[in-house]
Amino acid sequence: MKLHTKQLPFGWLTNLQTIPKLLLLSATLLLPLTFIFFCSNKSFLLLPYPSSSRIISDSNTSSSILEIDRECDISRGEWVQDSDAPYYTNMTCWTIQEHQNCIKYGRPDMGFLKWKWRPNGCELVHFDPTQFLEVVRGKSLAFVGDSLARNQMQSLMCLLSKVEYPKDISNATDENFKRMLYSSCNFTISIFWSPFLVKSEDPNDQTTLWTLYLDEPDEAWSTKIDDLDYIIISDGNWFSRPSMFYENKKLVGCHFCQVPNVTDLTLHYSHRVAFRTALKAINRLPNFKGMVMLRTLSPSHFENGEWNNGGNCVRTKPFRGNETKMEEMEFKLYRAQVEEFEKAKTEGLKRGLEFRMMDTTQAMLLRPDGHPSRYGHRAHENVTLYNDCVHWCLPGPVDVWNDFLFHVLRL
Ligand SMILES: *[C@@H]1O[C@H](CO)[C@@H](O)[C@H](O)[C@H]1NC(C)=O
Ligand SMILES: *[C@@H]1O[C@H](CO)[C@@H](O)[C@H](O)[C@H]1NC(C)=O
Ligand SMILES: *[C@@H]1O[C@H](CO)[C@@H](O)[C@H](O)[C@H]1NC(C)=O
Ligand SMILES: *[C@@H]1O[C@H](CO)[C@@H](O)[C@H](O)[C@H]1NC(C)=O
Ligand SMILES: *[C@@H]1O[C@H](CO)[C@@H](O)[C@H](O)[C@H]1NC(C)=O
Ligand SMILES: *[C@@H]1O[C@H](CO)[C@@H](O)[C@H](O)[C@H]1NC(C)=O
Ligand SMILES: *[C@@H]1O[C@H](CO)[C@@H](O)[C@H](O)[C@H]1NC(C)=O
């Protein structure tokens, strides 16, 4: 079975790295300043929106707030050159995880940083940290999912770092859950580690297979989101791991288990059912009143092999839309996410819940040049186990996920 070779090395990054102590210190130092300059004055939100074409600088945002184009489909477009990018570097942002700190680990070409996403027929407003913090003042945002959820969270923290670093207010006893506070705006970002979204058990001494309880949401997040304002589901790649599927506590099938009399239902089955279960669980939370967002499947870009046999991603430029096509397996996963999300949205609407899609898949499909390749995973130990063509360099094209977030939050 071919799919097995797509199993991805996500065990790399199981837990959130501790935010450097420096960061805490800086948050304390910056706090009074940021409060005065960025968060105490809401009046600029009341200004009429001018029709100028881009935000010029952070110090002068009040005169350049851009209206978002609600009719525009931001998910389809092309990457165009942007000489102003990047908007942060590894020198200005301290929260880049080693695995994604590509420039630090010697990535020689910088051209991949000089692009922006231009949707067909409109401009995507570039992330503005000051305005973002105004929009989310007093709110709580949670990322739920795998290491790509963390990739987006770290991008968000870097984009916000021009204004403020957060303070870690996590419960130290809970490694799968972190919470960061932007004190000046009382905005929190949380992350819940849940790579299958549903209850799961690791392989153990008896088996090399994961156990997935496809109809039981992972309580690590599902019991803790009641009072949150925004949830971003960000998941998908772990389903390629060989696993046994349980529903109603009974074995119903597997993915690549090669066990006699157990039907191989493939990862498409577990992935779809897990998404359905997770979204249903949210819709059934009696006290949840937040907004649910889905950051759709993040394509990988191994060429000349898979992750475990020398595959790599060495391109230095984006594709044009007509130069590539998603591989079928990833397309099916993407489609299942969109379908399950749309179904859940219909259900959620009945009780007044908002579901908004951040469909970044096509944009990222066109960025084979955005992954760490050998300048990431364990490069700091001078060991390259795999070429990482799954996660995304920071800074890099993944920053567009937060442009999407900024857009979607204001719809
Ligand atoms: C903002 O920047 C623009 C263009 O640089 C300038 O014309 C304008 O005067 C600035 N506004 C403020 C309030 O500084
Ligand atoms: C940032 O990247 C440069 C290489 O461009 C490297 O020399 C430096 O150590 C890095 N700094 C940090 C803080 O990551
Ligand atoms: C901060 O926001 C939380 C909700 O996220 C709210 O419960 C709390 O009262 C707020 N604190 C302040 C000081 O406004
Ligand atoms: C921290 O975690 C422990 C153990 O899971 C739990 O008992 C406690 O209530 C948590 N505290 C907070 C403030 O979440
Ligand atoms: C598989 O099913 C067949 C027919 O039901 C049965 O004869 C056989 O013993 C089963 N094998 C195992 C390993 O359970
Ligand atoms: C893709 O489109 C561009 C611009 O329209 C064109 O210049 C290019 O030749 C096309 N490439 C392919 C492979 O069709
Ligand atoms: C990293 O490993 C390579 C090959 O094993 C070696 O040539 C090089 O000197 C090492 N670099 C450092 C900084 O240790």
> What residue's CA is closest to ligand 5, atom 13?
260
- Is-catalytic flag, 388? yes
Whether residue 171 has its Cβ less than 6 Å from ligand 4: yes
| Ligand nearest to the CA of residue 260, numbered in listed order | 5
- The reply to whether 248 falls in a domain is yes
Probe target for ligand 5 pocket from 258, 261, 262, 263, with the most ligand atoms within 8 Å of CB? 261
Is the pLDDT at 153 greater than 60? The verdict is: yes
Whether residue 137 has its Cβ less than 6 Å from ligand 3: no
Report pLDDT for 148.
96
Give the closest residue to 116 by CA, choosing from 53, 206, 27, 37: 53
- Domain of 219? 5-40+79-409
pLDDT tens for residues 363-408? 999 999 999 998 986 666 666 678 999 999 999 999 999 999 999 9
SS3 sequence, the chain?
CHHHHHCCCHHHHCCCCCCCHHHHHHHHHHHHHHHHHHHCCCHHHHCCCCCCCCCCCHHHCCCCCCCCCCCCCCCCEEEEECCCCCCCCCCCCCCCCHHHCCCCCCCCCCHHHCEEEEECCCCCCCCCHHHHHHHCCCCEEEEEECHHHHHHHHHHHHHHCCCCCCEECCCCCCCCEEEEEEHHHCEEEEEEECCCCEEEECCECCECCEEEEEEEECHHHHCCCCCCCEEEEECCHHHHCCEEEEECCEEEEEECCCCCCCCECHHHHHHHHHHHHHHHHHHHCCCCCCEEEEECCCCCCCECCCCCCCCECCCCCCCCHHHCCCCHHHHHHHHHHHHHHHHHHHHHHHCCCEEEEECCHHHHHCCHHHCCECCCCCHHHCCCCCCECCCCCCCCHHHHHHHHHHHHHCC
- The reply to whether 68 falls in a domain is no
pLDDT above 70: percentage of residues in the chain: 82
pLDDT tens for residues 24-35? 333 333 333 333
Whether residue 172 has its Cβ less than 6 Å from ligand 4: no
- The reply to whether 51 falls in a domain is no
- The reply to whether 123 falls in a domain is yes
- The reply to whether 67 falls in a domain is no
Probe target for ligand 2 pocket from 96, 104, 107, 113, with the most ligand atoms within 8 Å of CB? 104
- Is-catalytic flag, 99? no
- The reply to whether 28 falls in a domain is yes
CA within 13 Å, CB half, 147: 21
pLDDT tens for residues 235-264? 999 999 999 999 999 999 999 999 999 999
Output the pTM of the full model.
0.82
Q: How confident is the model at residue 36 (pLDDT cuts 50, 70, 90)?
A: very low
> What residue's CA is closest to ligand 2, atom 1?
104
35 or 325, greater pLDDT: 325
- Is-catalytic flag, 226? no
Question: Which residue in the list 388, 399, 403, 407 is annotated as catalytic?
Answer: 388
Q: Calculate how far, in angstroms, residue 260's C-alpha sits from the geometric centre of ligand 5.
A: 7
Measured from the Cα of 57, ligand 1's closest atom is 2
Q: How confident is the model at residue 65 (pLDDT cuts 50, 70, 90)?
A: low
Region 128-149: mean pLDDT is: 97
pLDDT tens for residues 161-178? 999 999 999 988 777 799
| Total domains present in the chain | 1
Is the pLDDT at 343 greater than 80? The verdict is: yes
- The reply to whether 405 falls in a domain is yes
Probe target for ligand 2 pocket from 91, 107, 375, with the most ligand atoms within 8 Å of CB? 91
Question: Which residue in the list 126, 301, 391, 407 is annotated as catalytic?
Answer: 391
- The reply to whether 99 falls in a domain is yes
